[in-house]
Chain A
């Protein structure tokens, strides 16, 4: 198979490495956090700190459980055995047959559990593992035997989460990054749900070699997702009005190597509009991205270098970007200076875009008027090229669509709203989830046309 060689692309690595960004899924999605795997990084679960060192060099998808090691609490890898697995299947089947039990005799008076907090602490001191504590709790529960198999399973799971938490190592891909932000900080990504994000990438025809113009005002999620699809080819160019480029904080959650980061660039709208190359305001802008990240303007200090000294979960990153910079900013002299995403677009690329136009346009500006932006940036899009505008509200898109029609700037205009429902699938207990997201935002898509009356340029 000639295809196997492509494995080495850093984007598609399936084993973690020192310094890589990972998504930690604690207890089946109960807690999700981004982290960087370094010798000193830790994750806090319950009231204990666990070093992330053991995760380095493990395949993505590995599962870890907490243990009390010689040097304190640690994470250790669990390799599921086929037998363990058969057990759960047996349990499932049991659940179907077993329909005679119900909760008519259940009295909720908080006396069912005979083990006290002190007993559990005692077990722990004797070195009992989390799973042993769970078994002890079950053995000492007066009501466990009378529960239905389904609710026994629920009870076990609940206790397991508390006493024997599991950590799943996941790859930070557009899918998991968007899911995580949507779950934890939906406002920061303009309430853009993952199915909507996937639609944007399709409607905009994002593919290798594309030159994608974006107006990404949702923290860099669009930029990151596009860069992932470009795989180090083409360009994703984030344009902006005024002097400050939009934040790209989310891009750093992806595991992009230099070859991809180099393709993530920014360009102020004024320079894109300037009729000649070199008509720009000069190099004054070059420092802007750095100074955004580091108000202290120490341009050789970057967030990734902070992360290598200190475990940065998403919470920590938030603090860093919204409050003052942590003191650690002053450390660091990196041997190899990694390419940072969001440098200014190179002159030859700008020249090419002015001559040829961009091949796709994506706008996600939740707090701005869609029409105001699109009428300014659409001229930079090639003829017959697709564009797509995301908004959390319907009305700005409706107005924008109407204006595009009236001005005869585009065809194939359509506003769509995706709807996503997840199902619980279990023997005899299949149904949609009781809770679902009611809105993932709205999408206006279309194709730019060549209009003889108002030719470009």
Chain B
């Protein structure tokens, strides 16, 4: 998924080959990750697609099924991966992920700790930020979940950048061999305040911690715990609003007597005669307009950031 392997780097000449991971794009909210295998087929509502037809085609191409339906084949990115990964837990989405990576000040070479791993949605983006020489140590207390995450990182080609550990971070803290090596720590735990003292030991001075919590009571308690060793404690909420774009042919509002504005005061009284004043005129050119989508995610979680105080 990342560009660490130069033979897999995107290019005008890069063709899909056997064994590649592709994102099959039906429409913006319907996608699926598929491992290309010469003898396999993909079946969906558009028909049956033979993988062998895909091999040798460029990424980003349109491919057809036996009945003429089509999908696009895309190269995976962490953003697409977040949309297709199997949800073993509630996951973080792009707005939170992006903000976390930026505020944790992650750059290539950083060491970052994460708990819990969950579905690995954030992990993928953390790995992208610290590649090629940094490392992500991620922990989950759920053995099966950790195993599934490991398999995913293998599949997406991130396993050299990510180590998945099975550990109860709230109960035991981070492993002692990571003391003082972390540039950043990310916590997504039900009781983050239990893990904060250990996180403080792992961080380098001035290193950044982030705790993600859906409830304000958790934030309250975490923030109180943070004050003893941390500074610059700040809590944010970040959301996205998406827009629908449409080309609309607007009725041209032309009144008989001049500017449309001149009619406004009498609008209500003379409703019956309105139609004759506001004539439809289809000669108007179409206009592209945007409106916010009606539904949006209203809350994900609060992001609390803090820096380990420098005491040396």
Contacts and interface: CB of A to CB of B under 8 A. Distances in A.
Q: Do A and B bind each other?
A: yes
Interface of A: 1, 3-4, 6, 9, 11-12, 14, 59-63, 79-80, 82, 85, 88-89, 92, 171, 173-175, 194-195, 197-199, 201-203, 205, 207-210, 228-234, 355-357, 359, 382-386, 394-395, 397-399, 401-402, 411-423, 425, 427, 430, 432, 442, 447-450, 452, 456-457
Interface of B: 2-4, 6, 9-14, 25, 28, 57-62, 72-75, 77-79, 94-95, 97-99, 101-103, 105, 107-111, 125, 128-129, 131-135, 177-178, 181, 183, 204-206, 216, 219-220, 223-224, 227-228, 231, 233-243, 245, 247, 288-290, 292, 302, 304, 307-312
B311 A1 contact: no
B25 to A, nearest CB: 6
B237 to A, nearest CB: 5
B59 A450 contact: yes
* Chain A at the B interface: SS class: mixed
B134 A3 contact: yes
B238 A61 contact: no
B235 A423 contact: yes
A420 B236 contact: yes
A384 B245 contact: no
A202 B307 contact: no
A412 B105 contact: no
Contact of A207 (B2, B290, B309): B2
A356 B310 contact: no
Contacts of B307: 61
A425 B11 contact: no
Contacts of A384: 10, 58-60, 73-75
- 10 shortest A-B CB distances, which residue pairs? A231-B108, A61-B206, A384-B60, A383-B60, A384-B59, A356-B11, A198-B102, A198-B98, A209-B3, A398-B290
Contacts of A59: 205-206, 310, 312
A385 B125 CA distance: 17
Nearest to B111: A3
Given A198-B99, A412-B25, A447-B60, A420 B10 contact: no
A208 B243 contact: no
A233 B108 contact: yes
Contacts of B74: 384, 412, 447
A174 B310 contact: no
Given A355-B12, A395-B290, A399-B288, A208 B94 contact: no
A383 B308 CA distance: 43
B10 A383 contact: yes
A428 B135 CA distance: 39
Given A1-B178, A199-B95, A207 B131 contact: yes
A416 B240 CA distance: 6
Contacts of A62: 310
Given A208-B4, A418-B239, A457-B12, A423 B109 contact: no
B304 A419 contact: no
A355 B219 CA distance: 51
A417 B241 contact: yes
B106 to A, nearest CB: 8
Nearest to B227: A89
B237 A430 contact: no
Given A85-B228, A207-B2, A386-B79, A416 B242 contact: yes
B61 A449 contact: yes
Contacts of B128: 205, 207
10 contacts: A9-B109, A59-B312, A85-B228, A197-B102, A202-B97, A205-B78, A355-B11, A384-B73, A386-B77, A423-B302
A442 to B, nearest CB: 8
A419 B238 contact: yes
A85 B309 CA distance: 11
Contacts of B75: 384-385
Contacts of A203: 79, 94
A423 B236 contact: yes
Contacts of B108: 9, 11, 208, 229-233
B177 A1 contact: yes
A1 B206 contact: no
Report which residue of B97, B238, B239 has the largest number of chain A beta carbons within 10 angstroms of its beta carbon: B238
A14 B135 CA distance: 18
Nearest to B95: A418
Contact of B311 (A80, A173, A199): A80
Nearest to A176: B105
A201 B98 contact: yes
Nearest to B2: A207
Nearest to A89: B227
Contacts of A359: 3, 9-10
B181 A417 contact: no
